[in-house]
Each structure stands twice: as C-alpha cells, then as structure tokens.
C-alpha cells in the first residue's frame, strides 16, 4: 500500500488545545485501521488502532473514531503538547486486503507554545 | 526499540554506485515491507516479501531489487544511484496473512540515503 506523494497538509494547534486529524479511507471492505506518528527523521510509530466492529477506541490522550457509513477515520489528541508535533498517518487494511495496509498521505501537526 | 532493525542508519554514496540496505523483522513476523520517503512526502510502498517470497510490488524502479532470506531478514539493493534516490528508506514487518490476528506494521528507524 502506498500513499500519494503530495505536500503534507498542516494543522497548527495551540498547546493545551485538542487536535483532530481526519482521514478518508477508500475500501469499504477494510476491517482494520491504524494511526501512526512520525517524528522528524524517525520511523512511524504505532499510536492506536481500531477494528471495524468498533466505532470508538480510547488510549492515553488519544481517541480514534471510525464512521464506516462515510468511510471516515479521525484521531483526537487531548491537551496537545509540544511533543505531539509530528506527521500523523492513517492506514486501512485487514483480512480483505491480505493483511496489507494502505496509507494516507499524512498530516503535519505543529503545536504552538 | 520497535524490534525491527535497519542498518546502516546513514549512508552517503556517489551517483552511479550500488548500496544494500538491511532489515531484520520483529521476532515472529513473516512479512517485510520496504518504503521510500522523500523529504516532506508520504510513504511510497516499494515491495513486500512474505516468508521468503515476493508478495506485492509498488512503484519500485527496475534499478532497485530486494530479497528475503531463510532467516527472514531482508535486503534492499539500490543500483545506478541517482541524486533523486536520496531519501529515507523504511522497513516494516508484520505477521503477514497467516492465521494470527493482524496488528498492523512495525516500522524500523530507517536508513537515510544521501546520493552526492
């Protein structure tokens, strides 16, 4: 699965505010969704995942929402901190895709002090 | 430490040369994926191997090739290098499409290739 090589959209957020990153996915048969965080010069790191039998899943300061009707995935970060500044990628996949992931293009989050 | 090991971390080489990037997957993972990431770009899928066999190909140039060995480590070979090949190259691993529950990919920390 590959993502489109476009210039990354940027979300600027004030420190302490909540962030919402949105992602539209394409395959209605996808049953697994995941968010990755990539800091500059590092590899993507797992943040949170959700399977298609759920609408919402919460982690520490992060929540993923899945709307299968409109094929939309979102990541909410509560009380955004400077360490949250990074590029965030969503990905879809699962059994229907042979357990392969297709990545979104990524969103850059910049946290302003 | 994600459990996926990539070497070397940095590589500087001249145009026209050939390099080999190495990846050891997380213990228990059978699938290896290679991605290229240019500056401020997304992840470009290159190729996937599962248990030693090629499974899927993305936008991989003919100058690039890969293989997965019996011990499941993988190598990505880049030849006749051009300036535009300068990028971060990531390896990721997963359980593949076997019977285990799928939990996405685990990425390595990448190899930064600079072609001068």
Instruction: Summarize the confidence of residues A74-94 as an average pLDDT.
Output: 96
Look at residue A95 in the predicted model and tell me its pLDDT: 83
From the list A90, A44, A86, the residue with the least C-alpha distance to B109 is: A44
pLDDT band at A80 (very low <50, low <70, confident <90, very high): very high
**pLDDT per 10-residue tile (average), chain B, 116 residues:** 95 98 96 92 93 93 97 98 97 85 93 98
CA dist., res. B15 & res. B78, Å (int) = 11
Which among A2, A34, A44 is the nearest to B45, CB-wise? A2
Whole-angstrom CA distances from A98 to B50, B94, B95 are 11, 12, 11
Count how many residues are written for chain B: 116
pLDDT tens string A3-30: 434 468 999 999 999 999 999 999 999 9
Exposed/middle/buried for residue B56 (C-beta within 10 Å: 0-12, 13-18, 19+): middle
Chain B: residue nearest A50 by CA? B103
CA angle B33–A100–B51, rounded 5-degree value: 55
- Measure the CA dihedral B41/B45/B51/B52, to 10°: -110
| Count of other CB atoms within 10 angstroms of residue B38 | 13
Cis peptide before B22 (omega within 30 of 0): no
Look at residue A1 in the predicted model and tell me its pLDDT: 47
CA dist., res. B103 & res. B16, Å (int) = 39
- Measure the CA dihedral B93/A9/B114/B89, to 10°: 10
Contact between A99 and B43 using a beta-carbon 8 Å cutoff = no
pLDDT band at A59 (very low <50, low <70, confident <90, very high): very high
Residues of B in contact with A101 (CB under 8 A): 104-105
pLDDT band at A2 (very low <50, low <70, confident <90, very high): very low
For A10, phi then psi, to 5°, come to -125, 140
Instruction: Summarize the confidence of residues A63-71 as an average pLDDT.
Output: 96
CA dist., res. B11 & res. B114, Å (int) = 6
Look at residue A7 in the predicted model and tell me its pLDDT: 67
Q: Are A38 and B106 in contact (CB under 8 A)?
A: no
Look at residue B97 in the predicted model and tell me its pLDDT: 76
Residues of A in contact with B107 (CB under 8 A): 36, 43-45
- Residue A90 tokens read as 């969503």
Look at residue B57 in the predicted model and tell me its pLDDT: 94
Instruction: Give residue for tokens 């300036």.
Output: B83
For B81, phi then psi, to 5°, come to -60, 140
């Amino acid at each position: 699965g590959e993502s489109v090589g476009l210039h990354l959209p940027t979300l600027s957020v004030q420190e302490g505010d909540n962030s919402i990153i949105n992602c539209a996915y394409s395959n209605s048969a996808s049953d697994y969704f995941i968010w990755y965080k990539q800091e500059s010069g590092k590899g993507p790191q797992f943040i949170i995942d959700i399977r298609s039998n759920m609408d919402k899943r919460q982690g520490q300061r992060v929540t993923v929402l899945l709307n299968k009707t409109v094929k939309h995935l979102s990541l909410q970060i509560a009380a955004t901190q400077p360490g949250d500044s990074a590029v965030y990628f969503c990905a879809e996949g699962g059994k229907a895709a042979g357990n392969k992931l297709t990545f979104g293009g990524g969103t850059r989050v910049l946290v302003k002090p | 430490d994600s459990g996926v090991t990539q070497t070397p971390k940095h590589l500087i080489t001249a145009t026209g040369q050939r390099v080999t990037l190495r990846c050891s997957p997380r213990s228990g993972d059978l699938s290896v994926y290679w991605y290229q990431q240019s500056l401020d770009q997304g992840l470009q899928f290159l190729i996937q191997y599962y248990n030693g066999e090629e499974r899927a190909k993305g936008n991989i140039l003919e100058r690039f090739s890969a293989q997965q060995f019996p011990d499941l480590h993988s190598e990505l070979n880049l030849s006749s290098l051009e300036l535009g090949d300068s990028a971060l190259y990531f390896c990721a691993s997963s359980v593949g499409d076997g019977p285990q529950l799928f939990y996405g990919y685990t990425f390595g920390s990448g190899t930064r290739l600079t072609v001068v």
